Amino acid sequence: MKYVRFIFFLLLNSGLVFVLNSRSILPLPLGEFLSVQEGIWQNAESVNASYNEKIKIVGMEGKAEVYFDDRLVPHIFAEKENDAYFVQGYLHAKFRLWQMEFQTHAAAGRISEIVGDKGINFDKTQRRIGMVFAAENALGEMEKDPLSKAAIDAYTSGINQYISSLQTSQLPIEYKILGYQPEAWTNLKTALFTKQMTNNLAGYDRDFEFTNALKVLGEDNFRILYSDLADSLYPVIPKGTVYQAPAITLNAPETADSLYFKRKDTIQIAEEFKPNPSNGSNNWVLDGSKTKSGNPILSNDPHLGLTLPSIWYEIQIHTPEYNSYGVSFPGIPGVVIGFNDNIAFGFTNAGRDVKDYYQIQFKNDKRKEYWFDNEWKFASQRIEQIKVKNQPIVKDTVSYTIFGPVTYDKSFKTDLTESQSYALRWVAHDSSNILKMWLLLNRAQNYDDYKTAIGYFNVPGQNMIFASKTGDIALWQQASFPLRWKDQGLFVMPGTDSSYMWKGYIPSEENPHIVNPVEGYISSANQRAADSSYPYFIPGNYEVYRAITINRKLAAISNATISDMMALQNDNYNVFAEEARPILLQFVDKSALTKEEKKYLGMVETWNLINDPKEKGTVCFVAWWDSLHANVFNDDLNQSKVPLLKPEKFVLLEALEKNSAFKFVDNINTPIQETLTTQVTSALKKAAKHLAELEKEDKIEWAKFKNTTVYHLLKTNAMAFARTGLMNGGGHGIINASQHDHGPSWRMIVELTTPTKAYGIYPGGQDGNPGSKFYDSFVDKWTKGEYYALWVMNDNDIKDKRVKWKMTFSSN
Amino acid sequence: MKFIVSIFVTALLAFSMGLLLPWWSIAIAGLISGLSIPQKLIFSMLSSFIAIFLFWGFMAFFISLSNDHILARRISILVLKQDNPILLVLVTALIGGITGGISSLTGRSLILMFKKP
């Protein structure tokens, strides 16, 4: 009996410990997870925690001190420049390790290692667009250059110094939730990070959808629906600028008409994991003639997916060579958007198309030989080994052609036939050392230094804005932009013929630029850089409306101050609605409306055109216009099952402004001829139904409808770590570009006085640990449109009240 | 008295081993307590349960208190689907306590197996 009892307890006991230690029965190993000495409780940082620390490092060149202010912003003072990058790496790891590793795992197509088989498709896509190939090429170039090699080596050692000092109990909480351990950082991971940003900003591509649209809708309709040249375009380089004749002109290959413009088939590829086309930014700069102080003021707010931990980490780096302040990317050394004692710099996305697909004819399903210039050419093959959590490795063979990796073929997308394989030519694959641009910008003293620095940058194309204390302002749209014959690269190109290959890049001196303009200001907001008089073919994914509002305001402004710039960055005026509402109001047939529909019509009529948080008119207008857009285009786009894209908002608006009998207004599926009046009225009726539901759920106010949310990087799997329901205004096409989960990821304003006056904020916090009070400490202020004064600390400020903690790094 | 001492000893043992060993050292502490402290089976179980319950419960509570419950709120939403940091502390204490108590049963019942009635 006692024997049985013991066996029973023994089994119960071991069973219990097994269950509490395992992920296979409960989703979390609750024993380990809730252990007070090992589990999540160890991540609950005291709100009075001290960050004072003395760290001994073998191999530091000198000494370094880090002073943390009350927002946990580190002010690094290093005797040697490379030590500063070591310390930056250490701090990035200390506060953001999980995020850095997760993002670079994502870049490398290694998410399945963490999340299991649901990540395989993503991982394959990343590898097949050549992310690792691209990072290896970039790393080769970075390591050839002594300055960047030393910086990246020091940065990597700093990260690894932290990782090796890390105890299991101190692992970031995401490791404890997902059940894995960090690995050592490498220089390749830094290169991978730059490629992940490149993919976010220069990875959105429409070749397949455009190819289908051309075939299904015909060339005339294609040009109407997918033009990137809006009538209302306010280009970065002002209209009327005279461009010199291009140094290089290209003509389409002789076979283009038959092989390119009139291809026979559509392409059934629905690209997954496309980057958000809203990834963009605003930047502008005023010279002294427009400002109250007589000094330039530079403003920048990059629009990215809003995440916790934030993509940004605020930092000051003080070395004998320079003193820079701004935000950095956990993953690379240096300040990415910011200023130093002499200049300020910022970025917006150029949106130019630098990514083309070529159709490859393989000899057979081995995909080792392809037809090119009348002979079989060998393709190298890279066997990708995708590790999957709790499952066997998945192998994927990717062929590499003269263009680049074959992203789509029958082995990846089973809908494709053997003759449908598509290779990717992408500037991101070229070897280049973009890191060096930032290392040089951090120490740049004047326009010439800035100009030299940006020459190292090849992708993703950026509008690089600049101001100096000497009073210069400038913007270059910089990157390697392929030379194109007209319409080259809009559609999938034949990969059998070298005449369709890229023939080089637009000479960088001919890239759109503007230096000290008479107008006294420069701005960019992801619009087309130049109008049609620019002598090169520059297709891209461009925004129209933010640029209009910004230019209107900047043209009118005088004696500008920092607070004027703050108001402008938070401006919620809807210039699209200003143009679009009159059409809705003119064509709606009021006599056909019910009482409730008239109520929503009234809300649109009386709306002040401002996307403020409490506005109901915004929601009514957006619902109505979107419904009209669908009424006009869905019949045409749904006539074929192949993937097609919705036309941009400006396409419909400008077409209707010109001609209310726009041909797409008619619904091709009905025998009758719809008019704009029928469509606008029916759109309101459909919208009204939706609006009535929203009103019932109390979601008809703009901010409640939009529900601005800063997701944790694990998205809906970790809503407990997200911030939802932020009551802010703005939206797509608004200067305050806050959408549901996307928007101004850092707002910065720098006035180049002596000393520099700067303000900034991002919707996150310095510490990536959800158990820290610094995890989301900036979010509420960001939501309200407020800023922090950015404190550029000096050598003699060590005793300043703002210094809360001190960390020292030395070799003895 | 033996009961009280046994609680303290078990808790202290669990804490010390936890400095070096993974979380399941609380099971070892319970086991050792059961093996070495002569008590009735039920008291052995209760003393170890209380020892680990209090050890984990108090430690979790005070950690959470000095954290203003920032993390416990988030984890309680994640795991318990409700914003209740104190409940998370209780769940933590219970899981620890039950593990300790049952381990103690194993140890004590092994000893009792060889003991003549």
* pLDDT one-digit tens code per residue, A584-612: 999 999 999 999 999 999 999 999 999 99
* Tens digit of each residue's pLDDT (9 = 90 or more) over B47-57: 999 999 999 99
Three-state SS across A507-519? Answer: CHHHCCEEECCCC
Please give the biggest Cα pair distance in chain B: 54
Q: What is the pTM of this model?
A: 0.97
Q: In whole angstroms, how far apart are CA A111 and each of A92, A150, A721, A749, B19?
A: 21, 30, 20, 36, 33
Average pLDDT for residues A652-660, to the nearest whole number? Answer: 97
pLDDT one-digit tens code per residue, A418-431 = 889 999 999 999 99
Q: Nearest CA of chain B to the CA of A40: how many Å?
A: 8
What are the pLDDT digits (tens) for A45-63?
A: 999 999 999 999 887 889 9
CB of B42 less than 8 A from some CB of A:
no
* Contact assessment for residue B105 and residue A9, using Cβ atoms and an 8 Å cutoff: yes
- From A2, A16, A721, residue closest to B99, measured CB to CB: A16
Q: What is the pLDDT of residue A770?
A: 98
pLDDT at A277 over 70: yes
Rounded Cα distance between A155 and A81, Å, is 11
> Which sequence spans correspond to the domains of chain B?
2-114
SS (H, E, C) B62-75: HHHHHCCCHHHHHH
pLDDT at A666 over 80: yes
- Grade residue A1 by pLDDT with cuts at 50, 70 and 90: confident
Task: Let me know: does B45 contact B102? Beta carbons within 8 Å.
Answer: yes
Backbone angles phi, psi at A773, to 5 degrees: -70, -15
Handedness of CA A553, A749, A81, A93 (dihedral sign): negative
Geometric angle at alpha carbon A525, from A340 and A274, rounded to 5°: 105
Tell me the per-residue pLDDT of A302-314, one tens digit each, with 9 for 90 and over.
999 999 999 999 9
Q: Tell me, letter by letter, the H, E, C secondary structure of A108-173.
A: CCCCHHHHCHHHHHHHHHHHHCCHHHHHHHHHHHHHHCHHHHHHHHHHHHHHHHHHHHCCHHHCCH
Q: Judge whether residue B116 has pLDDT over 80.
A: no
Residue of B nearest to A34 (CA): B92
Name the burial class of residue A365, with classes exposed (0-12), middle (13-18) and buried (19+) by CB atoms within 10 angstroms of its CB: exposed
Stated as kind and residue range, the H or E segment containing B7 is: helix B2-20
pLDDT class for B114, splitting at 50, 70, 90?
confident
What residue in A sits closest to B88 (Cα-Cα)?
A34
Average pLDDT over residues B11-39: 96
Looking at residue B99, its amino acid is T
Q: Looking at residue B115, what is its pLDDT?
A: 79
Residue A58 has a pLDDT of 83
Cα–Cα distance for residue pair A372/A374, rounded to 1 Å: 5
**Residues on A contacting B at a C-beta cutoff of 8 Å:** 2-3, 5-6, 9-10, 12-13, 16-17, 20-21, 28, 30-32, 34-48, 173, 177, 718-721, 770-773, 775
Continuous H helices in A756-797: 779-783
* CA angle in degrees (0–180, nearest 5) for A27-A32-A35: 125
Provide the CB-side half-sphere exposure for A28 (13 A, CA).
18
Closest CA to B33 of B104, B82, B99, B117: B104
| pLDDT for B24 | 97
Contacts of A34 in chain B (CB under 8 A): 56, 60, 88, 91-92, 95-96
Give the span between the Cα atoms of A526 and A462, in whole angstroms.
9
* Residue A780, token pair as written in the block: 């509420």
Compare all CA atoms of chain A with the CA of B105 and give the residue at the minimum distance. Answer: A9
Q: Which of B74, B88, B113 sits opposite A3 (nearest CB)?
A: B113
pLDDT digits (tens, 9 = 90+) for A215-225: 999 999 999 99
Phi, psi of A435 (to 5 degrees): -60, -35
Could you tell me the pLDDT band of residue A723, with boundaries at 50, 70 and 90? very high
Angstrom distance (rounded) from CA A314 to CA A762: 9
Handedness of CA A65, A773, A171, A40 (dihedral sign): positive
Mean pLDDT of chain A, nearest integer: 97
Round to whole Å and give the CA distance between A781 and A738: 14
B95 at interface of A, judged by CB pairs closer than 8 A: yes
Q: Which residues contact A276 (CB under 8 A, 6 or more apart)?
A: A200, A204, A305, A742
Q: Is the pLDDT of residue A42 over 80?
A: yes
Which pLDDT belongs to residue A59?
Answer: 78
Residues of chain A contacting residue B71, judged by C-beta atoms under 8 Å apart: 40-41, 43-45, 173, 770-771
pLDDT at residue number A232: 96
pLDDT single digits (tens) A556-589 = 999 999 999 999 999 999 999 999 999 999 999 9
Residue-wise pLDDT tens digits, A459-498: 999 999 999 999 999 999 999 999 999 999 999 999 999 9
Q: Tell me what pLDDT residue B117 has.
A: 62
- B103 and A13 within 8 Å at the Cβ level: the answer is yes
Q: Are A357 and A413 in contact (CB under 8 A)?
A: no
The pLDDT-based confidence of A751 (bands split at 50, 70, 90) is: very high
Chain A residues in contact with B103 by the CB 8 A cut-off are: 13, 17
Q: A28, A307, A153, A161: which is closest to A809 by C-alpha? A: A161
Q: Is the pLDDT of residue A681 over 90?
A: yes
Q: What dihedral angle (degrees, nearest 10) is formed by the CA atoms of B50, B52, B53, B56?
A: 150
pLDDT classification of B1: cutoffs 50, 70, 90: confident
* In chain A, % of residues over pLDDT 90: 97
Tokens of A94: 């200390």
Name the helix (H) or strand (E) containing A280.
strand A280-286
**B99 to A46: CB separation less than 8 angstroms, yes or no:** no
Structure-block tokens of residue A805? 């903690």
Average pLDDT over every residue of A614-624? 98
Residue whose C-alpha is closest to residue A329's, from A764, A664, A648, A647: A764
What pLDDT, on a 0 to 100 scale, did the predictor assign at position A264? 87
- Among partner residues B19, B71, B95, which is closest to A43 by beta-carbon distance? B71
Q: How far is A164 from chain B (nearest CA, A)?
A: 18
